[in-house]
Amino acid sequence: MTAVRTEGELGRHFAGLAFGPAARVYEALTGSPAWLRSSLRLAELVPGPLVLDLGVGPGAVSLEVARAHPGRVAVGLDRSATMLRRAARLADLQGCPLPFLRADAQVLPIRAGALDGVTGHSLLYLLADPAAALAEVARAVRPGGRVGFLEPASGSPSLLEAVIGGPRLAASLVLWRAMSGLHRRFSAEELGGLLTGAGFRDVKVETTLAGCGLLAAASR
């Protein structure tokens, strides 16, 4: 008998694959210059110095940010042991040891107000309850601290811009669209509303990554 999967089950299945056994493929696709640039833009909006990066993944982004902002202590958090192993290996190879933490982004092992900032690139859309996760982020960030999230957008992407970005970017955006189609995408109003609802202020949202993404930043 063939097992019938719901969209939610399929999403969890593919996420388990992409961020577990196929982490190497994910790493190859999202290490493109355009993906890394989007992460640097995200990091600029959250100066730190002590910043927790939720869903750090294979680490290429953290290393790029660490090189661009030497004064920052960026701790990479992920719940996937495979991703964290890849991140630690890459950090070693590049001679840039970084602190990593294995935990669930929805239950942060961090005392209240301990962080200057939190970032997340492609993380909220995977969570069962992004509003609850943002409430947890609001607890962990000190008043005046900054947060930034880059998440898949529900609007129409610019195919031309995606193609001009090169085959690696185009492939990563196709993967991102497929994965977010199985989880969720946000409108600017929804993402901004989630941040406001969690108690953040000065919320700003802009489109990025050929219209496939939304970059949101706010203050605690």
Ligand X SMILES: C[S@@+](CC[C@H](N)C(=O)[O-])C[C@H]1O[C@@H](n2cnc3c(N)ncnc32)[C@H](O)[C@@H]1O
β-pairing, 115-121 with 50-54?
A: parallel
Give min distance, CB of 2 to ligand X, in A: 28
Cβ atoms within 10 Å, residue 216 = 25
Instruction: Give the binding site for ligand X (CB under 6 A).
Output: 19, 30, 39, 55-57, 61, 78-80, 83, 104-106, 121-123, 126-127
Give whichever of 7 and 202 is closer to ligand X, judged by the CB atom: 7
Q: Which residue's CB is nearer to ligand X, number 61 or number 173?
A: 61
Residue nearest ligand X, CB atom distance:
57
Nearer to ligand X, 90 or 105 (CB): 105
User: Minimum distance from CB of 39 to ligand X (Å)?
Assistant: 6
Beta-sheet strands, E only, within 159-220: 201-208, 213-219
Cα–Cα distances (Å) from 142 to 12, 43, 167, 179, in that order, read 32, 17, 41, 32
In the chain, at which residue ranges do the beta strands (DSSP E only) sit? 50-54, 73-78, 100-102, 115-121, 141-152, 201-208, 213-219
Please, which residue, 25 or 202, has the CB nearer to ligand X? 25
For ligand X, the closer CB: 35 or 200: 35
* Minimal distance, residue 155 CB to ligand X, in Å: 19
Nearer to ligand X, 33 or 202 (CB): 33
Rounded to the nearest whole angstrom, what is the least distance from the CB of residue 190 to ligand X in the complex?
A: 18
Strand pairing report for 115-121 and 141-152:
parallel
Shortest Cβ distance from residue 127 to ligand X (Å)?
6
Q: How far is CA 16 from CA 47, 103, 213, in A?
A: 31, 16, 22
As measured in angstroms, the least distance from the Cβ of 71 to ligand X is: 21
- Strand blocks (E) in 50-96: 50-54, 73-78
Cβ at position 1, least distance to ligand X in Å: 31
Euclidean distance between CA atoms 193 and 69, whole angstroms:
30
- Smaller CB separation from ligand X, 176 or 200: 176
Q: Which of 170, 132, 177 is nearest to 153 (CA)?
A: 177
Count Cβ atoms below 10 Å from residue 167 Cβ, excluding itself: 10
Q: How many CB atoms lie within 10 A of CB 160?
A: 9
